[in-house]
Amino acid sequence: MSLTADLLLHAYSAGVFPMAEHRDDPDVFWVDPKRRGILPLDGFRISRSLAKRIRNGGFEITVNRDFAGVVDGCADRAETWINSEIRDRYLDLHMMGNAHSLEVWKQGDLAGGTYGVSLGGAFFGESMFSRRRDASKVALAYLADRLVQAGFTLCDTQFLTPHLASLGGVEVTRARYRALLREALDKDADFMGPAVPDSQLLLQRMTQTS
| Rounded average pLDDT over 158-186 | 96
Determine the pLDDT at residue 210: 53
Q: Residue 39 and residue 60: Cα distance in Å, rounded?
A: 23
Degrees to nearest 5, angle at CA 152 with 197 and 195: 20
**What's the confidence (pLDDT) of residue 114?**
98
pLDDT of residue 123: 98
Tell whether the model's pLDDT for residue 157 goes beyond 60. Answer: yes
Assess whether pLDDT exceeds 70 at residue 1: no
Domain boundaries 31-82+99-209, corresponding CATH code: 3.40.630.70
User: What is the secondary structure of the chain as a DSSP string?
Assistant: ----HHHHHHHHHHT-EEE-SSTT----EEE--SEEEE--TT-----HHHHHHHHHS-EEEEESS-HHHHHHHHH-SSS-S--HHHHHHHHHHHHHTSEEEEEEEETTEEEEEEEEEEETTEEEEEEEEESSTTHHHHHHHHHHHHHHHHT--EEEEES--HHHHHTT-EEEEHHHHHHHHHHHHTS---TTSSPPPPHHHHHHHHHHH-
Q: Calculate the dihedral angle through the C-alpha atoms of 83, 132, 112, 177, rounding to the nearest 10 degrees.
A: 80
pLDDT digits (tens, 9 = 90+) for 8-46: 999 999 999 999 998 888 889 999 999 999 999 988 899
Please write the tens of the pLDDT for every residue from 78-116.
Answer: 889 899 999 999 999 999 999 999 999 999 999 999 999
> Does the reported pTM lie above 0.85?
yes
Q: State the average pLDDT over residues 58-64.
A: 97
Q: Where are the domains of the chain?
A: 31-82+99-209
Question: Given pLDDT bands bounded at 50, 70 and 90, which one contains residue 206?
Answer: confident
Q: Which residues pair with 77 in a beta bridge?
A: none
Determine the average pLDDT of the residues in 107-128: 97
Give percent of the chain above pLDDT 90.
88
Cβ contacts of residue 95 below 8 Å, gap of 6+?
none
What's the average model confidence in pLDDT over 71-82?
A: 91
Distance CA 209, CA 60 (A): 23
Mean pLDDT computed over every residue of the chain: 94
Backbone angles phi, psi at 146, to 5 degrees: -65, -40
Q: Percent of the chain beyond pLDDT 70?
A: 99
Which of 154, 150, 130, 131 shows the shortest CA–CA distance to 197?
A: 150
